[in-house]
Amino acid sequence: MIVIKPILASACLAAFMALASSASAATVVSGTVCEGGVAPAISASACDMTLGDFGNTPSRFILTPGGAFGLYGGVANGSRADQYLDTWMIDFGADRYNLSFNWAPKRNSNFDGFLFVNNASYAFDTAINPTGASISLGALSGSVAFIVNPILGSFVPQERGTWDLQVSPVSLPASLPLLALGLGGLAFARRRTAA
């Protein structure tokens, strides 16, 4: 009985360490970042950083902005039964970033699907926009999950498309620091007068 407890404790610790090490560490990104699946709309030589295929697990790639960046990728659908997803997460922390999602069919093919951003969904379809379009996602902060799903059901057997996500920090208005300085000056002057 005494020997079993240390072995059980060691097994539990080993299992916990294996789970912890399988979780993806955040990758700091800036500049031009490419996913490693279906070739993106830009050439590979234009990429400052190339990541692996995003695949079906959002926590596999957790990105942290190191400034403004463009994230480029592509997805394909082989048939209605095949789902080739691109999934990733971006941890913006307390900072706010403006995001714009752009999509286009590859080589004049049909392309449709959904972009999921946390609990919101955005449809894209070449039947409506034959050459692609841009979707403004607004300003986001915190931890955000993204899924690009090319299965809307309209086009079979083959569709391929590219996407990119443009991310830029929300700039602090130039007048805000001046307002804070002015309010601080007024508070200091009032304090001086009261004394």
Q: Give the whole-angstrom CA distance, residue 17 versus residue 22.
A: 9
Architecture, CATH, for domain 26-170 = Sandwich (2.60)
Q: Are 139 and 94 a contacting pair, CB within 8 Å? A: no
* Residue 137, CA distances (Å) to 3, 87, 140 in order: 57, 16, 8
Domain ranges in the chain are 26-170
Of 112-126, 159-173, 181-195, the poorest mean pLDDT is in 181-195
CA atoms within 13 A on the CB side of 181: 5
Bridge partners, residue 116, by sequence: 121, 147
Q: Give the whole-angstrom CA distance, residue 139 versus residue 136.
A: 9
User: How would you classify the pairing of strands 86-91 and 62-77?
Assistant: parallel
Q: To which residue do tokens 């379009």 refer?
A: 133
Q: Give the whole-angstrom CA distance, residue 95 versus residue 51.
A: 24
Percent of the chain at pLDDT > 90 equals: 43
Its pTM stands at 0.74
Q: Give the whole-angstrom CA distance, residue 102 versus residue 72.
A: 9
Q: Give the whole-angstrom CA distance, residue 50 versus residue 3.
A: 49
Q: Distance between the two ends of the chain, CA-based, in angstroms?
A: 75
Give the pLDDT band (50/70/90) at residue 9.
very low
How high is the pLDDT of residue 152?
66
Q: What is the arithmetic mean of pLDDT over 118-147?
A: 94
Give the pLDDT band (50/70/90) at residue 156.
low
